[in-house]
Amino acid sequence: MRARDYPKEAARLLKERPQVKEAVGGATRHFDQNRQRAYREVDAEALREWARRVKDHLLTHLDLYLEKAEAALKRNGVQVHWARDKEEARRVLAHLVREKGVRRAVKGKSMLSEELEVNPLLEGLGVEVFETDLGEYILQLLGQPPSHIVGPAIHLSLGEIRRLFHARFQTPLDAPPEELAQVARRTLREAFLSADLGISGANFLVAETGTIALMENEGNIRLSTSLPRVHVALVGIEKLLPHLEDLAHFLSLTARAATGQRLSTYVSLIQGPARPGEEGPQEVHVVLVDNGRTALLADPEAWETLRCLRCGACLNACPVYRQTGGHPYGYVYSGPIGAVLDPGLLGLEEAHPLPYASTLCGACLEACPVKIPIPRLLLTWRHRAVEEGLGPGWERAAMRAFAEVMTRPGLYRVFSKGLRGLLALPGGEGLLENRDLPLIRAWTQGRSGLRPSPRPFHELWEEA
């Protein structure tokens, strides 16, 4: 599945799996209502504006803070690796797997690891990989990618999960969710205790102190980063924060935006490998990944997408995302943030349908904790798609013809007169009821049919 296939895949999903709309719509409305309640508990506008300024400062001095972060991480005993792109990141990880003799790995939820396709890499190296977030574990059993940044299995119904667990673990078809969770827990507990390698992302990396901050609600990330002898954190270079005092506010703001919590259930602050007498990993590695982010930072308009905290609030608020969930978007990042981030990471030619997957209602901007101007960026990418001629050929021809007619008064009058004459012929008005024509079909959904005026507007205007 590719981003350029979004319109076709979205239509196919709506036709073949209409239950996804119900599952995604119900879950995202619940998340969004929780976010609105959590925002009301604080001065959300002031907090969002402060967070925007901090991220903007960080991004405009990113080179400085990356150097500070590297120095602080090394002081903490962390081994730092740099990866310009996906292939370099995968080479670093493959080298560590071979060097450390890794045979089993546990993984916390990380969108960057999805971006780097870590699981296929590890499996190709003969490593047994376990996703440890419950939603991600379910999707691993199904062989599916995440559908949502925070709730990866948001598109599945309880009945579908029951049938999956019945087939894999012989649980009753009417097993309650608690029983299903216990079955997954038993399998993952054994994996935690026997894994050589734990892989995580990072919600934040504090440049001042080299602190890796991780948020979660299940405890699986804490186990993944503390029980295996080697911990590797994959960190996008935009995930830095300048100072430790910034972190507390960002942890709370992200939790409120994502799930409506005041703080996530677990917050892990990792300061390096275990010291003598302590429990924890013998080695901690941080892989700082660019993979298109530097190029995006240089874009005079789209750079603001790099403020994203990966909270998923814009997905929860989006009426378009609620129709299908994330799979039709064809890439790791879906919903409104995917529609403006993916063209920057994948290239506009690959992702050009995504900026059109929006009603431009502005709900995403109201939800975003760092005030990314998603509606404006959607229009930016649409303008660029038109300038690069990436739309359908019929659409370009139609818009050129429309511009010709609408910018030449004489031609407009001839055209409108001819059109009224055509509609006056026997059966002519049937053209305005032909639902095979996309524009007519879109207009008549929820409206009465079109009825032409017997006289053109300019004649009525001259008489007025």
Q: Contact, 352 vs 343, CB < 8 A? A: yes
- CA dihedral (371, 329, 289, 75) positive or negative: positive
Q: d(Cα 178, Cα 8) in Å, to the nearest integer?
A: 37
> In sequence order, what DSSP letters do the residues of 97-159 get, joined into one string?
HHHTT--EEEE---HHHHHTTHHHHHHHTT-EEEE-SHHHHHHHHHT---SSSS-TTTT--HH
* Integer angstrom CA distances of residue 94 from 139, 241, 292: 24, 28, 21
Q: d(Cα 421, Cα 434) in Å, to the nearest integer?
A: 18
Q: Contact, 284 vs 233, CB < 8 A? A: yes
Residuewise pLDDT in 10s, the chain (464 residues): 799 999 999 999 999 999 999 999 999 999 999 999 999 999 999 999 999 999 999 999 999 999 999 999 999 999 999 999 999 999 999 999 999 999 999 999 999 999 999 999 999 999 999 999 999 999 999 999 999 999 999 999 999 999 999 999 999 999 999 999 999 999 999 999 999 999 999 999 999 999 999 999 999 999 999 999 999 999 999 999 999 999 999 999 999 999 999 999 999 999 999 999 999 999 999 999 999 999 999 999 999 999 999 999 999 999 999 999 999 999 999 999 999 999 999 999 999 999 999 999 999 999 999 999 999 999 999 999 999 988 777 778 888 888 888 899 888 888 888 887 877 777 776 666 666 666 666 667 666 767 777 788 878 888 87
Residue 190 CA from chain centroid, whole number: 31
Burial 378-399 (b: 16+ CB within 10 A, else e): bbbbbebbeeeebbeeeeeeee
Q: d(Cα 199, Cα 285) in Å, to the nearest integer?
A: 10
Domains of the chain, first to last: 42-291 (3.40.50.10420), 393-463 (no CATH)
Q: Contact, 315 vs 335, CB < 8 A? A: yes
Q: d(Cα 40, Cα 438) in Å, to the nearest integer?
A: 42
Alpha helices in 262-320 (DSSP H): 293-297, 313-317
